[in-house]
Amino acid sequence: MSTDTLQIRYVLERPQFDLDVAIDIPMRGITGIFGESGAGKTTLLRCIAGLELPTSGTLLVGGETWQDQSAGFSRPVHEREIGYVFQEPRLFSHLDVQSNLVYGNRRAGANGGAIEFDRVTDLLGLERMLNRKPAELSGGEAQRVAIGRALLRAPRLVLMDEPLASLDTKRRNEILPFLDRLHAELSIPIVYVSHNIEEVCRLCDHLVVIDAGRVVAEGELQAVLVRMDVPQLSGEEAGSVILGTVSAYDPGYDLTTIKFSGGEFRVPGDHGEADAPLRLRIRANDISLCREKPGQTTILNVLAARIDAMQELQGASRLLRLRVGDELLLARITRRSCDELGLRSGDKIQAQIKAVAVRSP
């Protein structure tokens, strides 16, 4: 039995919905569970937590059996070392922030992997709100407290069920940097449910795509995103994630040069010291193509590429997968443009990248 994976085998039969999942995901980093509403994402999380009883199946956490329906064994909810973060914070309204956090800490039991209280408050920026009541917190602040309480349970595994879904854009952008810090500094594996592909691309290392209760794609984030046989990933937010490192910073123009296997990107802002690793998110809609390298253009990033594959989409669009160095990018262009340029698989072209989102890995 593998000690470094979460092995999930579940069948759950309902009158209007069936869940049938068999996946092994890493006991490290953040695994995204992505799909549309009603796909079965939350049901899967509830089964892992023991809140739903599957018709059949098994759950092994780091090689330890937590559930085996054929043997009539299911570890009770309160004995599963899980921190669960719901869409809503679900804090105790009569307790202040510190007391809400301490409640989670008391439930940690004798687990030797407990995280220090001060470290959690520092990671999540909670120090200045410890004496406040939940009613005095913004939605983003309350959700950070809920995450802190889950971490202080000293869990083997953290489950997050669309933790940003109830927040507006401003609050969501406030909390994302704290999730970045958890990803960078903690070794606790996180299973993160979302229907927002931008969140998934920013936070996750591993990706599972679910549709109608079935897994339709699973693997390392970069590899899954550029699959062209997964309709759930070819919509308006289609794109790719690649890894690069800082090459140089030009303070005069406030531009950072980022190198990767296919060349260099220049992006606005100072993104760290030389050789610092970065994650780059490039949306398919932000790439345009031309046969020859343009002589004059306002686009800073023009890369030599080869067309790796092409796919027809509904309507006016066509999706192309491009190979740039060792990386794969997706580009969405109109069918008319594709036909006018006479583009075919294997063609060498120039890719103009109009926008790049940059994050620490």
- Could you identify the residue written with the tokens 């005069």? 252
Whether the predicted pLDDT of 256 surpasses 70: yes
d(CA 22, CA 7): 8
Taking residues 145-166, report their average pLDDT.
93
Q: Over the range 215-227, which residues count as b (16 or more CB within 10 Å of their CB) and which as e?
A: bbbbeebbebbbb
The model's pLDDT over 184-215, given as tens digits with 9 standing for 90+, comes to 888 899 999 999 999 999 999 999 999 999 99
Q: Are 203 and 179 in contact (CB under 8 A)?
A: yes
pTM value is: 0.93
Which CA distances in Å does 271 have to 179, 202, 235, 257, 258?
18, 15, 29, 9, 9
310 pLDDT band (50/70/90 cuts)? very high
Domain ranges of the chain: 5-231, 239-359
What residue type is 40 in one-letter code? G
pLDDT band (50, 70, 90) for residue 314: confident
pLDDT at residue 233, as a whole number: 94
Q: What span, in angstroms and rounded, lies between the C-alpha atoms of 329 and 323?
A: 6
CATH superfamily of 5-231: P-loop containing nucleotide triphosphate hydrolases (3.40.50.300)
pLDDT at 107: 64
| pLDDT score, position 1 | 56
Greater confidence (115 vs 144) lies with 144
pLDDT at position 348 over 70: yes
Residues 114-129 as b or e (16 or more Cβ within 10 Å = b): ebebeebbebbbbeeb
pLDDT at 295: 84
Please spell the DSSP secondary structure of 27-59, one letter per residue.
SSSEEEEE--TTSSHHHHHHHHHTSS--SEEEE
Q: 110: exposed, middle or buried (C-beta count within 10 Å: 0-12, 13-18, 19+)?
A: exposed
- pLDDT tens profile 75-123: 999 899 999 999 999 999 999 999 999 887 776 654 545 688 999 999 9
Contact 6, 21 (CB under 8 A): no
Task: Assign 247 a pLDDT band (cuts: 50, 70, 90).
Answer: very high
pLDDT at 213: 96
Query: Mean pLDDT across the chain, nearest whole number?
Result: 93
Q: What is the CATH number of domain 239-359?
A: 2.40.50.100
Residue range 30-58, pLDDT digits in tens: 999 999 999 999 999 999 999 999 999 99
For 321-339, write each residue's pLDDT tens digit. Answer: 999 999 999 999 999 999 9
What average pLDDT does this structure show over 309-317?
90
Q: Residue 239: which pLDDT band, with cuts at 50, 70 and 90?
A: very high
Split at pLDDT 50, 70, 90, the class of 361 is confident
